[in-house]
Chains A and B, each alone.
Chain A
Amino acid sequence: MSTAADCDRPSTDATVRTEVFWGVDCGSAEIKVAALDREGRLLTTRRCRTLFPLVEHVHRSLAGQGDELSAIADGDRDRLPADGRQPGLRPGHKVFATGYGRHHIGFVQGQLTEIKAHYLGVQHQLRLQQDYTIIDIGGQDAKVIRATPSRVEQFAINRKCAAGTGAYIEELAHRLEVPMQELPRLAAAHDKDLTLNSYCTVFSGQEVIKLLMHGERVENLIHALYRSVVKRVLEMTAIDTDTLVFSGGVMSHHPILVPLFAERFDEVRTILAPNAQFCGALGAAIHGMNEESDDGLPNHQ
């Protein structure tokens, strides 16, 4: 995406108005970054693996490379200040954080939980007028968020075990010796509905091996694996809205999950959120805009 040229104007005035709102989603698997202009238009998105020290990698994502849009002031762009000082931000840029690492970034202007961030990111992009449920499947967790056009009403998070998350898919793909990107194609070629019963990734792995030994087709096992992710997520909480919105990295890599969720309901509208992986980062940026707006209007969506 293009950089907003007028954001690059340096300013010495502390009261300079914010032109770019950055959101950083420090997830357990990936750091995701999104930048919005003050009209809420998406300027750029970036992601990288979550590595440590976290702050260094967040800094790098926000700094960008070459002529990419940067949130970090020129003097601190190449590396974090050696003297322990927080890196400066470019005038007119603000950064807001979400995700599990949100408390560990010293140079952000604010932070919020990923529940609110995902909601804001989805609602900002879709502007839904009815109640809906967000299903967000990430690398290490799954979230179900019941939302209205104006707020989060209820939510549930599964982080107790890998079941229903990307880690579960990854582990079983490894057991089946199938590259991750092959999974959707193979699942589409299934000819039987099998069920994996276990909650537990290790037990599911054993079930898969037993079925393989009995000559079961890999395609059917992969399809069963996806169905089991759906089952685990739907066990988390009862869903009572007619609209389901999907977000998160796992959904964007495995869109086959969308119809598998849909078939579990009589009548439901399903939407794969645009920028599904970046809803949290986008929401963090929106939160920043809301924090700054003093117009007395309801939150920016």
Chain B
Amino acid sequence: MKSIDKKDVIDMLKDWTNEYHVLCPNKKINDDCIFDGFEQDHFTLDYGKLSFCLKSAFFPQSEIIFEVEDNQYHEVISSEKTILFGIRACDMMGILQSSSFMSRDYGDVYYSAKDDATIKVVMACPGPQNETCFCTTTNSGPFAEKGFDLQFFDMGEEFLVEVGSKKGKELISGELFTDIDSGDAKGKIAAFKKKASEAIPKVDEIKSVMEMLKNGVVEDEEWEEFGQKCIACGGCAFVCPTCTCFNVYDLARDGSGMRVRGWDTCLYGGFTREASMHNPRPTQGSRLKRRYEHKLKDYNEQDLQGGLCTCVGCGRCSDVCPVDIGILNLVLAISRDYKSG
């Protein structure tokens, strides 16, 4: 096992930038933490839960997939050797689940080229990062079980570093890292994990609502009540680590230009509207139902990767929703309304 002094982390990241594009938390305007390219003067370890998950590293908000010239399609597959430093365990689970979805049956070259070129360095959480964290309920945190190349555990003055892959091991072969007694480190990590897990509140309603949805007891009226409030901003989906729906559109002039794909969401009315104007999900309630049932019921088992469902418990939809829907309020309301039944 290895460790690194906290004060050496900046030098570590600097080293990594020689070979990689390093994405990490930087404190920017208004003291907001933004996950982007390493900047020595802005880098911070005090970042809590970032308001965006890291899916844009693999699945950009918009991305050119073809350049088209005289109606000839030339694929544009962009990827760069990248290190994601400091992602949270819930984000790691989001990446695992999304990667499974994007590669099964048919592979998505745009996603997988970036996924394959990216090293994931998880920062285990010592406890909840804010009041909406519930990763212990969804089996997706506060530390990662798999998928990472490296995982850092905060021991105060230093980080203990768990290796998850060969690539990860190579990254910590430099002299900034100190060899330490493995047995001793394992004990410390186990204690960290135990304390961290206990600090995160369980949301038992997640499981009970999953069961209710499976049994079909939740009526459409319940969803329509939420639908009345929802302003269809799509925020919940765009911050969600496992929402990967997209739209495809052309930017063209005289047969040349580009074919682009960009984030889309089932919360939008046009998402399922057919050319005939028929819409199988005609109300905002039916669209909210879709989004949350996709997380809690209608996922593919194969994509779970050890998680409970395809909600990874990061709580971001609860953080961002301007009208206080979000998964937490939603499951609380449903379980309250259907308690006896």
User: Is the A/B pair a real complex?
Assistant: no
Residue positions of A touching B, CB distance < 8 A: none
